[in-house]
Each structure stands twice: as C-alpha cells, then as structure tokens.
C-alpha cells in the first residue's frame, strides 16, 4: 500500500481549467489537496467577479487551502523583430503581486517563440532580477524555445541567481525524451517544483495541443511519474509536488470529479516516494 502522503500536494491552475475561484478552491479542498496553483488569468477572472485579495484569502482560509504557485510567464523575452526586451508586462507585474499577496512558493515561466539562447539567458536573468525575493521556476517544453533539461539548466546556471530554478514536468520529461543523466548536473535545491501526470499512447503532431488537452492522471497508462519520482528521490530532491493533468475528458465531468480523480491517482503514485515532497 505504501506510506500515506502527508506532503502539501498542489493542484495546478490548469488542471481545473477556467473554473471560477470559489468553485476551484472548494473542489480542491474536497478532494484532499493542501494547496492550489493560480494563473494570472484565473486571478483576473476572480477580480472581475467581484473578489478582491481579502475576499480570496477568506475563501482560501475557509477551506484550509494555501496558494502554492503562480502560472505562467511567457512574455519576458523579445519577440522576433522586436530587437530589444519590452518593459515588464502587466502580466508579470500581476504574477508578482499574486505571489507576494498570497505567499506562493514560486512563479512558473517558460518561452514558446524561438529565440537565440544568449538572448534568452539575458532576459531570463533580468526576469529573475526583477522578481527580487520571489523564486522563478523555468519550465522546459519540447515544443518551446527551451526544449530540454540541459538547456533549461544552462539558463538557470547562467543567471548566477539563487532565485532561479526549474520545473520538472512528467509530460515534458517523456515527450522530450529526457535522459536520467540529464539530471546529474542539476543541484537538488534548484528544482523548485515537480508536476505529475501521465502521457497517452500516441503522440500528436501538435505536441502543445496534446499537452494542454490530453494528459492522463499519474499512473493511468505508464509508470513515468513513479520513475521520475524515484530518480528525484535518489537525487535528494525535496520540493513542491503539483498535479498537472490538463484533460478535456476529465473537465467534462466537472471540477469536483476532476480534482478527486487527480488527487487519488497522484496520491497513489506518491505513496512510494513521499520524501520528494517533504519540503
């Protein structure tokens, strides 16, 4: 059966799609999650619905939930033809506000449009400098400008900043054909979060669409999540663990059913490796 999972397990913002804030928090708590992720977009919708920060804190407190992570910055490097980095975006300022206002561990970041590595390194360093005391977790994606773990670690290392770290996502690990040895040079403390899910049997030509709509709950088809957790445990990683299962099929069942299915599957996988999320 394994050991019971007592770590503060997070449900990512995208796992619950566009569910309104109150319903999102209620579903997460009912399923058993300790913390939630929140996207800038979900926060904006909550504000437009009439909830200010104090009201959102009251909802979180009512359900015994904390905010663990903020999603997702992707506009911190210049687009093709811009020639220079724009000023910090409104989205960046909002993400930093959310993290500070609710005490989130980190803000996740990535990049989609092809950009020279030296430019990415310069702009990622600047992003981390603007973040100040906040931690920035860089996510590599096989369809993005940072396509693999070695590149992501090089960028984090080049910042020279302690608030720069990594996201390790099972889906990207598998579809990006990440090798276990790619983890070797990465200090355990620089892995700021691990995102768990499973992958389907047939890769789509459009990997981004597959990633956003067709993920499976951890352990549904393969042992990819457990193998990654085992590797991280051996590497000495102790970090936040987030369930990120973007699934149109699950969301069609409603937020409560989605959160429950994701929590139960994630808990089963984590039960063999609870040390990874004992942060």
Instruction: Identify whether 109 is part of a domain.
Output: yes
Instruction: Identify whether 134 is part of a domain.
Output: yes
Q: How many domains does the chain have?
A: 1
Instruction: Identify whether 124 is part of a domain.
Output: yes
Rounded to the nearest angstrom, the gap between the alpha carbon of residue 273 and the centroid of all alpha carbons in its chain is: 19
Please report the pLDDT score of residue 194 as a whole number. Answer: 97
Please report the pLDDT score of residue 141 as a whole number. Answer: 97
Sign of the dihedral defined by the CA atoms of residues 174, 79, 100, 49, in that order = negative
Query: Is residue 37 a contact partner of residue 265, using CB atoms and an 8 Å limit?
Result: no
Instruction: Identify whether 248 is part of a domain.
Output: yes
- pLDDT tens readout for residues 29-57: 999 999 999 999 999 999 999 999 999 99
Domain residues for 128? 10-277
Please report the pLDDT score of residue 99 as a whole number. Answer: 98
Instruction: Identify whether 67 is part of a domain.
Output: yes
Q: What angle do CA 86, 91, 93 make, to 5 degrees?
A: 85
Please report the pLDDT score of residue 4 as a whole number. Answer: 47
- What CATH number does residue 96 fall under? 3.20.20.150
- pLDDT tens readout for residues 54-65: 999 999 999 999
Please report the pLDDT score of residue 217 as a whole number. Answer: 98
pTM of the model: 0.94
Instruction: Identify whether 2 is part of a domain.
Output: no
Instruction: Identify whether 1 is part of a domain.
Output: no
Please list the alpha-helical segments (H only) found in 137-254: 149-159, 170-175, 207-213, 224-235, 248-251
Low-confidence ranges of the chain (pLDDT < 70): 1-6, 79-86, 278-279
Instruction: Identify whether 92 is part of a domain.
Output: yes
């Amino acid at each position: 059966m394994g050991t019971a999972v007592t770590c503060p397990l997070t449900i990512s913002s995208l796992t619950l799609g566009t569910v309104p804030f109150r319903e999102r928090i209620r579903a997460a708590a009912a399923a058993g999650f300790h913390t939630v992720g929140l996207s800038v977009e979900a926060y904006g919708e909550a504000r437009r619905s009439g909830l200010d920060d104090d009201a959102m804190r009251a909802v979180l407190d009512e359900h015994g939930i904390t905010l663990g992570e903020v999603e997702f910055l992707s506009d911190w490097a210049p687009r093709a033809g811009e020639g220079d980095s724009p000023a910090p975006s409104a989205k960046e300022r909002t993400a930093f506000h959310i993290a500070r206002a609710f005490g989130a561990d980190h803000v996740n970041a990535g990049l989609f449009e092809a950009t020279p590595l030296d430019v990415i390194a310069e702009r990622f360093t600047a992003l981390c400098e603007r973040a100040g005391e906040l931690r920035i977790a860089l996510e590599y994606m096989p369809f993005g400008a940072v396509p693999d773990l070695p590149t992501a670690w090089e960028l984090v290392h080049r910042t020279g900043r302690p608030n720069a770290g990594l996201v390790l996502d099972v889906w990207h690990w598998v579809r990006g054909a990440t090798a276990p040895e790619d983890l070797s040079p990465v200090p355990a403390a620089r892995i700021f979060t691990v995102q768990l899910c499973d992958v389907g049997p047939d890769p789509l030509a459009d990997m981004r669409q597959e990633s956003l709509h067709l993920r499976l709950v951890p352990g549904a088809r393969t042992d990819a999540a457990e193998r990654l957790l085992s590797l991280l445990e051996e590497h000495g990683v102790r970090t936040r663990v987030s369930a990120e299962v973007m699934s149109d099929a699950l969301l069609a069942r409603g937020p409560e059913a989605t959160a429950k299915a994701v929590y139960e599957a994630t808990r089963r996988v984590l039960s063999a490796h609870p040390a990874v999320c004992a942060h």
